[in-house]
Amino acid sequence: MADVEKAKATQLSNIEIKTGQKLSALCEQIGASGKVSHSEVRSWIIEKFGLGYGDANALAHAAKAATSTTAPVDDPLASIYAGKKEHLRIIHDALIAAIASWGEFEQSPKKAYVALRRKKQFAMLGPKNASASELGINLKDDIRSSRVIAQKPGGMCQYAVALTNADDIDTEVLGVLRQAFDAAG
């Protein structure tokens, strides 16, 4: 991640050198151009400053980020567990606390769920609807359970379990999840 950010910073610095203008001045001009869509902005930058496609694209993204009125979200889970689904966050936190004692793993937030990974993804967790979260489990073993339900082949996970409150995270669910955790690592 740091290498990508460093490359973006270097590219923007090179754009300042090529144009002879500071990034803030370039962003001001882009904002005043009246162009709205990304492709319009990029085309305008190519024409106005003589930059190539890649530099114009990077500058268009930088200008959008510089003028964005949306404050950055420090907690990526806040958007997943927002509104009517906010009360489900306690399930997420309880499950993560239980898994944390098992060893190192990564939480990778997506748009509507969080992928849980070691060397490979072992589970996913997110709101199923406004009243329940769904824990998807990646495990090749045959699990016989009335709560941990086998999914159709070809899906994101082999098993899923609905969690309506933190008490649903019991020894049965944790036992299956621990098998997946160990197999992923």
The pLDDT of residue 156 is: 86
**Does residue 18 register a pLDDT over 90?**
yes
pLDDT in tens, 1-10: 467 788 888 9
Report the distance separating Cα 24 and Cα 152, nearest Å.
Answer: 52
| 4, containing H or E segment | helix 2-19
The answer to whether 44 and 60 have CB atoms below 8 angstroms apart is no
**Does residue 35 register a pLDDT over 90?**
no
Lowest mean pLDDT segment, chosen from 2-6, 58-62, 121-125, 146-150: 2-6
Contacts of 85 (CB under 8 A, 6+ apart): 127, 130
What whole-number percentage of the chain has pLDDT above 90? 66
Q: DSSP state, 169?
A: -
Mean per-residue pLDDT of the chain? 89
Report the distance separating Cα 141 and Cα 178, nearest Å.
Answer: 12
Comparing CA positions, the residue from 167, 130, 119, 131 lying closest to residue 147 is 167
Q: Where are the domains of the chain?
A: 2-67, 77-183
> Do the strands 159-163 and 149-150 form a parallel or antiparallel pair, or are they unpaired?
antiparallel
Report the distance separating Cα 49 and Cα 21, nearest Å.
Answer: 10
**Does residue 127 register a pLDDT over 90?**
yes
121 is written with which tokens?
Answer: 């993804």
Report the distance separating Cα 46 and Cα 5, nearest Å.
Answer: 23
The pLDDT of residue 50 is: 94
**Does residue 168 register a pLDDT over 70?**
yes
**Does residue 86 register a pLDDT over 70?**
yes
The pLDDT of residue 74 is: 66
Q: Please indicate whether residue 15 or residue 143 has the higher confidence score (pLDDT).
A: 15
